[in-house]
Each structure stands twice: as structure tokens, then as C-alpha cells.
């Protein structure tokens, strides 16, 4: 696989989602969770999506339960939470693993293409998470709400670590749009 567009994912209702359907658009892929200290980022992600979708920016959420069990719900419960709590209209797909031997192939690819910039420069967030994150391999996703910006051609442009807000990403988008 040489591009994000080569991958498929599973929607919450079991349908197959071809990431190739996003060719020609910027895509922000985010691992999400409903019981995380960063869950309020759903609000910013939805605002970013609504503000930029007409210019060809899409947001896709991938729930994961790999970080302190912060996404324990079923796919149906996750959909209900996203809709009723944050009025999420961007796709939130089926729950996946983002690290380890059962990681979704898409996430193996994303981690290899953009290993991240995890470290003390992330300040208080880094200090809070460094000893409890189950990430063990270089490039592993360290926590919920890690974001990957994918170019219109499917190439990984940038990885944003969890404390980077959707508002910060939105101000970064003009150079890619």
C-alpha cells in the first residue's frame, strides 16, 4: 500500500468505507474516544468540518478503546453519543485498534508514514500521559485524538499529537487547501 486511498475501513453499521472515495479532498483522520479528557475536541472537530467541508476538507473519526478503556461503548452507543452530545455530522466509523498486533492496517500505515513528535515539548500533557500510555513502539499512537492530515492525493502530510486542537489545525489548513 502506498497511499491512504488504498485502504478500506468499516463504518459503524458494518458497511465498507473505501478511503479512495476521498481522492481530491484533504482528510483529517482522528482516533477518538468518548470518555477521555480530550473528548471535548469533538466540538472543535465538528466546527472545523462544518467550516471547511465546502472547500474539500473531510474529517473521519476512528474510535479506539486502547487508552485506559476510554471508549468502552458499542459502535451504536458511540454513534448515539457523538450525535446527541456534540451533534457530530462527520463520519465516525467502527471501533479499531490503532497500535499493536491487531491494529487496523490503515493505522500501521499512518504510524509508519508519520511517526510523530512525541516528547517533553508537549508540556503538561506529555507529563500526564507518558507513564500511562500503552504505546511501546516508536511511532505508536500515544493517546486519543492523535490526528493525521492526508493530502488530496492520499499522502500523509502531517501528524498532530493529541493536545493540538482542531482550531490550531484549522489555522494550519490554508497552506494545504
Q: Is the backbone of residue 125 left (phi > 0), alpha (psi -120 to 50) or beta?
A: alpha
Paired sense of beta strands 57-63 and 156-160, if any = unpaired
Q: How far apart are CA 75 and CA 15, in angstroms?
A: 12
Sign of the CA dihedral running 87, 93, 94, 95: negative
Residues that are catalytic: 36
Amino acid at each position: 500500500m502506498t497511499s491512504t486511498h488504498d485502504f478500506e475501513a468499516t463504518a459503524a453499521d458494518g458497511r465498507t468505507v473505501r478511503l479512495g472515495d476521498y481522492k481530491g479532498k484533504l482528510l483529517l483522520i482522528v482516533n477518538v474516544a468518548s470518555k477521555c479528557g480530550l473528548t471535548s475536541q469533538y466540538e472543535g472537530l465538528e466546527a472545523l468540518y462544518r467550516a471547511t467541508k465546502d472547500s474539500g476538507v473531510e474529517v473521519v473519526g476512528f474510535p479506539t478503546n486502547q487508552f485506559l478503556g476510554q471508549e468502552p461503548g458499542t459502535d451504536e452507543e458511540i454513534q448515539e453519543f457523538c450525535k446527541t452530545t456534540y451533534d457530530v455530522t462527520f463520519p465516525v466509523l467502527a471501533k479499531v485498534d490503532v497500535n499493536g498486533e491487531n491494529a487496523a492496517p490503515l493505522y500501521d500505515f499512518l504510524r509508519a508514514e508519520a511517526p510523530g513528535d512525541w516528547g517533553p515539548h508537549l508540556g503538561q500533557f506529555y507529563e500526564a500521559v507518558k507513564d500511562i500510555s500503552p504505546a511501546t513502539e516508536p511511532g505508536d499512537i500515544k493517546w486519543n485524538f492523535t490526528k493525521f492530515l492526508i493530502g488530496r492525493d492520499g499522502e500523509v502530510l502531517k501528524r498532530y499529537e493529541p493536545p493540538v486542537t482542531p482550531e490550531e489545525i484549522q489555522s494550519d489548513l490554508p497552506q494545504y487547501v
